Amino acid sequence: MRFLWPLLLLLVPFASAAEEVVLGLSKDKVAITTSFDGSEILIFGAVKRETPIPEGSPLEVVITITGPSEPVIVRRKSKLFAIWVNTDSVEVDRAPSFYAVATTAPLADVLSETEDLRHKVTIDRAIRSVGAPDNIENAALFTDAVIRIRRDADLYQTLENGIALDQQTLFRTAIEMPSNLTEGNYATRIFLTRDGKVVSSYETSIAVQKVGLERWLFTLSREQPFWYGILSLAIAIAAGWGASAAFRLLRS
């Protein structure tokens, strides 16, 4: 009997790999220029199978795009003597600068709570907030505020029924990325699920980078702040002089 265990262990990967993702991206790089006003990423792919489509529950697809994560300080304002002032603050340990999740059906139908907890798919799970100071009441409201503000800026998106799936084999979706993107690598994950359980997953990344004049100014501000300040001052003086000259020309 002990000789059967190695054989069974070898069979497990083949059983779990019955359906696999073959992915394509319309672009794997996004260039941020001075005229950048957003970009649409088309994600498409197919399901590779070694056996016929399993009977029973239909296959579902979940796709997420995650921007660089960083801590966020959230402040709460209170009215004190007719003046609004910051009274409380909480640091959210890690929040993606951009996050989008698209599905073939309502999220609650395609992914169980257990799988969501394991893979951190929903926006609430993608944000990490360990805890707040003991004197802070309703600390969860601070995390909710981050989600609300970034939803309003199109930085957090939930696109239920946003993926088209043909014959349980070909899938595609388009995700709009706004103009106010943070530079960095954007992790892209694809999950295949049945009965709310993940049966296969695939991960790649999209590089978002500043290019041209935008990139040069950004690098100058970080590596040569003195000369960046001098350049900014010179541009401001030139702009002021040009506006004054134009005004005098119009009056004459």
Residue 175's domain comprises: 17-210
Q: Note whether 231 and 149 are same-domain residues.
A: no
Residue 175 lies in a domain: yes
Give average pLDDT by consecutive 10-residue segment, the chain, 252 residues. Answer: 38 54 70 64 86 83 92 71 64 86 94 93 81 60 84 93 91 86 88 92 82 53 65 71 68 66
Measured between alpha carbons, how far is 231 from 147 in angstroms, rounded to an integer? 37
Residue 5 lies in a domain: no
Q: Which long-range contacts does 163-166 make (Cβ < 8 Å, 24+ apart)?
A: 163/61, 163/62, 163/63, 163/102, 163/103, 163/104, 164/104, 165/59, 165/60, 165/61, 165/104
Q: Note whether 204 and 188 are same-domain residues.
A: yes
Measured between alpha carbons, how far is 135 from 132 in angstroms, rounded to an integer? 8
Q: Note whether 89 and 67 are same-domain residues.
A: yes
Q: Which long-range contacts does 86-93 make (Cβ < 8 Å, 24+ apart)?
A: 88/136, 90/129, 90/132, 90/133, 90/136, 90/139, 90/142, 92/127, 92/128, 92/129, 92/142, 92/143, 92/146, 93/128, 93/129, 93/130
Kindly report the CATH number assigned to the domain that includes residue 145.
2.60.40.3880
pTM, to two decimals: 0.71
Q: Note whether 24 and 101 are same-domain residues.
A: yes
Q: Note whether 43 and 74 are same-domain residues.
A: yes
Tens of pLDDT, residue by residue over 26-71, are 665 666 555 556 678 888 888 888 888 777 789 999 999 999 988 8
pLDDT at 57: 83
Tens of pLDDT, residue by residue over 240-252, are 776 666 666 666 6
Residue 6 lies in a domain: no
pLDDT at 224: 63
Q: Note whether 47 and 165 are same-domain residues.
A: yes
Q: Note whether 204 and 223 are same-domain residues.
A: no
- HSE-up of 113 (CA within 13 Å, CB side)? 0
**Count: domains in the chain:** 2
Q: Note whether 24 and 149 are same-domain residues.
A: yes
Residue with tokens 């970034």: 150
Provide the token pair at 219: 């690098």
Q: Note whether 198 and 226 are same-domain residues.
A: no
Q: Note whether 145 and 37 are same-domain residues.
A: yes
